[in-house]
Chain A
Amino acid sequence: MFSLVVMIEVLRAAAGLVLISTGLMIIFGMMRVINIAHGEFLMLGGYTVVMAGKAGVNPWLAMLVLAPLVVGLFGVLVERLFIRFFYGRMIDTLLATWGLSLFLMGMVTVLFGNTVTGVSVSLGSVDVGGLRVSGYSFFLIAVAAIILIATYLVLRHTKLGLVARGTMQNPGMAAALKINPSVVYMATFGIGSALTGLAGALLAPITGVVPTMGVAFVAQAFITVIAGGPAIITGTISAAGLLGSVSQLTTFATTPVVGDVALLFVAVVLLRILPNGITGKFFRRSI
């Protein structure tokens, strides 16, 4: 029974990595925009839940609807005012979004204070062979699965997905076909931001919310995306699955610190062997 519980924890860790990296996968993997402020987008999602909770909004509504909406709109704003001038200039984007990241952290610290705020959402617990597992773990796993399936369906089977993929591949050709690349870029960035906001909101009850919370996630998100390689969905699943198992199994065997070290170690080795990520070598024709 203990091994079943370990499996659930591994799945939950993988789901966590999927959540924090799907938005980045779209923004960085598809659009080639290095968004160093990704962690702060997560943090904004978390703060949306805290603020909405204080205003008396139902926490589930705040997490699943409000947070993606707010951060998605914020993403569109940032893209229009800021990111769109940097397309194709990777290093400049890196510096610009780094500035944005520091700005957001400072801003939120000024507004809400440098303090940890908790969000309490309870889903009870489930008995797995005599061991109790938090219901929230199952919820996270389910949401991560839904996000992956939905992203796959949209990209693969809708006109919207086709247009987005086509524009990212060759904006000039897309424009020749009467598609406005600028609008597609804006929408894609907005959707990536919305998914990131959702992830921040979902993680808030576990981690608590603090202006610097993004820092802990941004490295993990980039590692997952880069280890995943060019294919968005398959890459996220394979990288999150591999890195999640390594870190959780190590954590069970030893401590959370060694678990983090193991995750980073495996990522380094992986990139040495597969410089283009997992899907740069395997599953090359997948999305």
Chain B
Amino acid sequence: MTMNRRDFLATAGRGAAALTMTSMLPLAAMGADEILVGGLHDETGGLDFAGAPMQQMVRFACDEINEKGGLLGKQVKAVTADTGSNMQLYQSLAQQVALRDKVNVVMGGITSASREVIRPVLHRFNTLYFYNTLYEGGVCDRNCFCTGTTPAQTVEKLVPYVMKKWGKKVYTIAADYNYGQITSAWVKRYVEANGGQVLSTDFFPLDVTNFGPTIEKIQSAKPDLVMSVLVGASHLGFYRQWASAGLKKQIPIASTTFGAGGTEPILITPEESNGIISCYGYYPTIESAANKAFIAKVESKVDKFFGGKMPLLTELSVCTYEGCMMWAAGVKKAGSLDRMKIIEALESNISFDDFPSGKVTIDPKTHHVTRNVYLADLEERKFIILETYPQQPPADTQAVCDLVKNPNDNQHYQIKL
């Protein structure tokens, strides 16, 4: 992102306004008889379509915990702050919820860039942190639990499936930051492992909107399929321009991101998005009693928490819900609000059988999760599940991270490929 003087002033102004406004809230509003859960998600800005449902889900989950009698005889309260798709706000708001609000846990971060802003802050201030987004893998920090999927769980399944279906020549287009760089490296690895070839990998900063030259380049390279690792609202322009160039019927698209966040399939018309194959830890069309009950519960509270409109449930928002529930189970098992006791409780091979996404187990060595992975085709804004891969371990992070052996490890490993 280019930062000019106007950007800087606008950002600084907004940051200052946000700080002064929130600090005017009376401290008495946060009584000691409540347990606070922080929520740091982008409700505005370029990532709002993913962040808003996640933030709503934090409030929804807290409400559900209270309905079941709260925790340790106390009520749970969500303290949410809008990070505005802005890294400076992540920095200041993370300090605010940790130091001023003294929340017990923070659910937050969407891009890996934002996670690496708040993770060190929360680690330093001893505030438990849940990152509930699919990402490139490799975070190794005892204070942090990563509940989303990583490439060894999803890309490993997606690549061979689409190569078998469409062909061996792949063209990758990816967002230009650590998630896109690392995930596209995984794509290349799995393509080559399956006897295929990556013709080219092109990277785009998050604010790129014009994909004209790229679309011509892809056509002249004649791949069998395009693998999209694009992120954010600006990049949605690719799908529009791709369809308007009439290429949808010629070269199919698979994606590690499309439909993961929230409203991409709503912002993009069915004609532009039909046939995109993806692979995530959750789809709303999962056929299980637990998922149906979960969706019914969301529906019944759609006015209270989701602005009157049924949210498109995705891995990001549902993992946020599951993250809240994992933390609650940890508190219950620990019987205490002490951070280390909760971490130890969550490290005791704790398993959840009836989550919306299926069975989920926390891996004590990596603080990542073993979960079901699904592969689906998008048709008319509905994900049709084609394959289910039960109980996939986070093998990529397991290769580099062992918190049982090195409990003081605190870094984001760039997994060597």
Chain A interface (Cβ within 8 Å of chain B)?
2, 5-6, 9, 12-13, 98, 101-102, 105, 113-116, 118, 120, 122-125, 131-137, 205-208, 210, 212, 215-216, 219, 248, 251-252, 255-257, 259
Task: Name the residue on A nearest B219 (C-beta).
Answer: A131
Can you offer 17 A-B residue contacts whose CB atoms are under 8 A?
A: A102-B6, A113-B44, A114-B44, A114-B84, A115-B233, A116-B234, A131-B219, A132-B219, A134-B212, A207-B234, A207-B237, A208-B234, A212-B7, A252-B213, A255-B204, A257-B203, A257-B205
Q: Classify chain B: how many residues form its interface, as a range.
A: 35 or more
| C-alpha spacing A45/B288, complex, angstroms | 48
> Which of B62-70, B129-137, B243-251, B315-323 is found at the contact surface with chain A?
B243-251
Q: Is B176 an interface residue (CB 8 A)?
A: yes
Q: Is B289 an interface residue (CB 8 A)?
A: no
Task: Name the residue on A nearest B211 (C-beta).
Answer: A256
> Which residues of chain A are near B207, meaning CB under 8 Å?
216
> Which residues of chain A are near B20, meaning CB under 8 Å?
none
Residues in B215-274 with C-beta less than 8 Å from chain A: 215-217, 219-220, 233-234, 236-237, 240-241, 244-247, 250, 267-269
| C-alpha spacing A13/B7, complex, angstroms | 25
Q: Is B141 an interface residue (CB 8 A)?
A: no
* Contact among A12, A122, A123, A252 for B217, CB-based, below 8 A: A252
Q: In the complex, how many residue pairs between chain A and chain B have their CB atoms under 8 Å apart? A: 108
| C-alpha spacing A113/B43, complex, angstroms | 10
Residues in B39-55 with C-beta less than 8 Å from chain A: 44-46, 48-49
> Which residues of chain B are near A115, meaning CB under 8 Å?
44-45, 48-49, 233
* Contact among B6, B84, B204, B212 for A137, CB-based, below 8 A: B212
> Which residues of chain B are near A248, meaning CB under 8 Å?
213
Q: Is B23 an interface residue (CB 8 A)?
A: no
Given contacts A102-B10, A115-B45, contact A208 B241 (CB under 8 A): no
Chain B interface (Cβ within 8 Å of chain A)?
4, 6-7, 9-10, 44-46, 48-49, 84-85, 176, 202-205, 207-210, 212-217, 219-220, 233-234, 236-237, 240-241, 244-247, 250, 267-269
Q: How far is the CB of A104 from chain B (nearest CB, A)?
A: 12
Contact indicator A207/B6 (Cβ below 8 Å): no
Contact indicator B176/A125 (Cβ below 8 Å): no
* Contact among A113, A116, A252 for B233, CB-based, below 8 A: A116
Q: How far is the CB of B35 from chain A (nearest CB, A)?
A: 31
Contact indicator B241/A134 (Cβ below 8 Å): yes
Given contacts A114-B44, A219-B4, contact A208 B236 (CB under 8 A): yes
Task: Name the residue on B nearest A121 (C-beta).
Answer: B244
Main secondary structure of the interface of A (DSSP, over half): helix
Task: Name the residue on B nearest A36 (C-beta).
Answer: B6
| C-alpha spacing A132/B248, complex, angstroms | 11
Task: Name the residue on A nearest B216 (C-beta).
Answer: A5
* Contact among B205, B217, B244, B250 for A136, CB-based, below 8 A: B244
Q: How far is the CB of B267 from chain A (nearest CB, A)?
A: 6
| C-alpha spacing A13/B212, complex, angstroms | 9
Given contacts A120-B269, A215-B4, contact A208 B233 (CB under 8 A): yes
Which of B207, B217, B244, B250 has the most chain A CB within a 10 Å cutoff? B244
* Contact among A120, A122, A133, A206 for B216, CB-based, below 8 A: A133
Given contacts A2-B220, A5-B220, A252-B217, contact A215 B6 (CB under 8 A): yes
| C-alpha spacing A13/B216, complex, angstroms | 14
> Which residues of chain B are near A102, meaning CB under 8 Å?
6, 9-10
Contact indicator B236/A118 (Cβ below 8 Å): yes
Task: Name the residue on B nearest A130 (C-beta).
Answer: B219
| C-alpha spacing A205/B211, complex, angstroms | 12
Contact indicator A125/B245 (Cβ below 8 Å): yes
Q: How far is the CB of A10 from chain B (nearest CB, A)?
A: 9
> Which residues of chain B are near A118, meaning CB under 8 Å?
236-237, 240, 267-268
Contact indicator A256/B214 (Cβ below 8 Å): yes
Contact indicator B244/A134 (Cβ below 8 Å): yes
With A124-B244, A257-B176 given, can you name 8 additional A-B contacts, CB distance below 8 Å?
A: A115-B48, A135-B244, A208-B209, A208-B237, A210-B46, A251-B213, A252-B213, A256-B214
> Which residues of chain B are near A122, meaning CB under 8 Å?
244
> Which residues of chain A are near B203, meaning CB under 8 Å?
255, 257
Given contacts A102-B10, A215-B7, contact A125 B213 (CB under 8 A): no
Contact indicator B45/A133 (Cβ below 8 Å): no
The 10 closest A-B pairs by CB, nearest first: A125-B246, A116-B233, A207-B209, A114-B44, A251-B213, A132-B245, A134-B245, A132-B246, A131-B219, A125-B245
> Which residues of chain B are near A125, meaning CB under 8 Å?
244-247
Contact indicator B247/A132 (Cβ below 8 Å): yes
> Which residues of chain B are near A136, meaning CB under 8 Å?
244
| C-alpha spacing A150/B246, complex, angstroms | 32
Contact indicator A131/B216 (Cβ below 8 Å): yes
| C-alpha spacing A256/B237, complex, angstroms | 14
| C-alpha spacing A133/B10, complex, angstroms | 38
Which of B45, B204, B213, B240 has the most chain A CB within a 10 Å cutoff? B213
Task: Name the residue on A nearest B247 (C-beta).
Answer: A132
Q: How far is the CB of B346 from chain A (nearest CB, A)?
A: 35
> Which residues of chain A are near B246, meaning CB under 8 Å?
124-125, 132
| C-alpha spacing A207/B244, complex, angstroms | 14
Given contacts A105-B10, A120-B269, contact A9 B244 (CB under 8 A): no
Contact indicator B250/A132 (Cβ below 8 Å): yes
